[in-house]
Amino acid sequence: MDSKKFLVFGSPAIGEEEITELNACLQSGWLGTGPRVAQFEQDFARYKDVPANQVAAVNSCTAALHVSMVAARLPPGSEVITTPLTFCATVNAIIHAGLTPVLADVDPVTMNIDPAAIEAAITPRTAAILPVHFAGRSCDMDPILAIARKHKLVLIEDCAHAIETEYHGRKAGTHGDFGCFSFYVTKNVITGEGGMILGGNAEQIARAKVLALHGMSKDAWHRFGDKGYRHYQVVECGFKYNMMDIQAALGIHQLARVEANWERRQVLWSRYMAAFADLPVGLPAAPEPDTRHGYHLFTLLIDAARCRLSRDEFLDAMNAAGIGTGVHYLSIPEHPYYQERFGWRPEQWPHAMAIGRQTVSLPLSAKLSDEDVERIIDAVRSLLG
């Protein structure tokens, strides 16, 4: 392995502000859901230009997806259409909500779910569409919204990659009934683990908040805070999905730097595009007009015939050079569980299958120095040039 430091894939940029806030949180004696979570919710709502009562912080994007589907009161066993090119959590959340996942193939250029494939997948049992804004690129939301309205379907956006993403002047997560965000450690805003639900109205989010904390009418801050004890009642059979102040302490300052970090990743993206333009690899498509790309992932497609090595050989070689990479994603039908449960085979969704077998993600963190980026570029060019 290269004698230089190992570049961890997705390593977050942590500042002194986060460390100071975290220390203050620890010293305050209040680590669970409390005032810092409330502030983080308010800050996120402000960033998304929605009222504060339309967001709810939770402990993961998976939880956000699950709670959204339960809060939407989708009929048990009904179908939810989503993409096969996503993390397993998207499909698992559908299953945990007592619903049936249905896959619609992706556009091979954008790698996002194809609206025409959504339309073709609709049956009388379809209740919702769950598009995923892959790598920070917005799905083509106008036709997806038209399909949802035509068939009276709930629309839940998986925005795990898309905090900064916009489409035709609208921010990701604000198009449909719910938007679900991730603050996992590799994401553009991090809380270590964490998520956020953005709802189309305050009533939806009020129910989501109750569901996310055991179905209780009051959270711990409102029971044990400095205004005195308040009794609660269990009004639904909920879940243990709340975010802690110890997580929000990171998120508050991460969110404050979201634009600066986005600008840095945009610079890195452009450097990669220029550096690899002459290589025999598939590069990401340019952002579509009147959209804002979140620049969450920079993916290469490694075709063994063109590149003289396979995707997995490329992964191993980059690791040997001390550079961490990712795979986003093997298509969902490649995994044994879904094959056994649903009888899925990758060939049923050929675009997602082809991308999943060739894709590799390069480091794209705002933490990367110019020297780090040059090292990554040199390693890629030495393998593929």
Q: Which residue has the tokens 């986003």?
A: 328
Question: Residue 240: beta bridge partners?
Answer: 213
d(CA 95, CA 119) in angstroms, rounded, equals 21
| Distances from the Cα of 261 to the Cα of 12, 21, 45, 253, 254, angstroms | 10, 19, 19, 12, 9
| Distances from the Cα of 55 to the Cα of 23, 78, 330, angstroms | 26, 26, 31
In terms of Cβ atoms closer than 10 Å to its own Cβ (0-12, 13-18, 19+), residue 166 is: middle
d(CA 118, CA 190) in angstroms, rounded, equals 31
What tokens appear for 155 in the block?
A: 């629309």
Q: What is the dihedral of CA 164, 49, 209, 130, to 10 degrees?
A: -50
User: 208: closest CA among 325, 63, 96?
Assistant: 63
Q: Which of 48, 171, 187, 209 is catalytic?
A: 187
Residues with Cβ within 8 Å of 350's Cβ and at least 6 positions away in sequence, in order, are 105
187 catalytic, yes or no? yes
Beta strand 291-292 with 166-167 is antiparallel
How many CB atoms lie under 10 A from the CB of residue 367? 15
What tokens appear for 127 in the block?
A: 């209740």
Indicate which residues carry an active-site annotation.
Answer: 187
